[in-house]
Chains A and B, each alone.
Chain A
């Protein structure tokens, strides 16, 4: 089954404790992206990757890191989480080739930073 898998689904952590949210897709998509969803703000892009070893900032990259060492994986790293990073995070992927390619989303990771 074609899917984007995120782990964990729920995560509670404390300020400053490094964490990683994993994302994996099995559709051989070249494009992957991370979004955060906050009430009243919709979804905002954090980082994206057009291909292996190619990553770039989205609209809200501060406090986050990503890597793309393999085509299928795109982990999101919070080196020193803060309470304002409490949010619902989504990983997404699609074929490359422009804006006509719909995004496939994972089921989300709800992060709470205390």
Chain B
């Protein structure tokens, strides 16, 4: 079946540090890949997505590239801010007719001023 493995957290960084959160996946066919972000007390919001190999998703300074050869979709940001503190979920969608997202376990990110 489909699965997503995400970097264990929590992750604590200083403001302006470089961020990488690793994500690898297992899926049949050609999944779409997503990063969702959950701020405290809120639901998940789509951060970025990529729908085919070598696509790069980007939003709010975050980027992730769909690497089919390594089955990875690592999230990166060059300079994090305190407002980036949240829980980040990597997810894939490969169940045509359901649109189900298969989520990783989430990575809690805390940015210290």
Q: Tell me the A residues contacting B by CB distance below 8 Å.
A: 4, 31, 33, 40-45, 48, 50, 56, 58-59, 90, 92, 94, 96, 98-103, 105-108
**Residue of A with least CB distance to B92:** A99
Main secondary structure of the interface of B (DSSP, over half): loop
Residues of the B chain whose Cβ atoms lie less than 8 Å from the Cβ of A50: 97-98
B103, CB-defined interface residue at 8 Å: yes
Known: A4-B43, A48-B98; 20 extra A-B contacts, CB below 8 A, are A42-B103, A42-B106, A43-B89, A45-B100, A58-B100, A90-B43, A90-B44, A92-B44, A94-B99, A96-B99, A99-B31, A99-B93, A99-B99, A100-B51, A101-B99, A102-B34, A103-B44, A103-B46, A107-B41, A108-B43
Given A43, A48, A58, A99, which contacts B103 in the complex, CB threshold below 8 Å?
Answer: A43
Contact B99 A105 (CB under 8 A): no
Contact A40 B93 (CB under 8 A): no
Residues of the B chain whose Cβ atoms lie less than 8 Å from the Cβ of A58: 100
Residues of the A chain whose Cβ atoms lie less than 8 Å from the Cβ of B6: 42
- Size of interface on B: residues with Cβ below 8 Å to A: 27
Given B93, B95, B98, B105, which contacts A41 in the complex, CB threshold below 8 Å?
Answer: B105
Max chain B Cβ within 10 angstroms of own Cβ: one of A4, A31, A101, A103? A103
A33 to B98 alpha-carbon distance, docked (Å):
9
Shortest beta-carbon distance, A38 to chain B, in Å? 9
Given B42, B46, B105, which contacts A107 in the complex, CB threshold below 8 Å?
Answer: B42
B19-54: CB near A (< 8 Å → 1, else 0) gives: 000000000000110100000011111100101000
Residues of the A chain whose Cβ atoms lie less than 8 Å from the Cβ of B96: 98-99
Shortest beta-carbon distance, A108 to chain B, in Å? 6
Shortest beta-carbon distance, A27 to chain B, in Å? 14
Shortest beta-carbon distance, A65 to chain B, in Å? 18
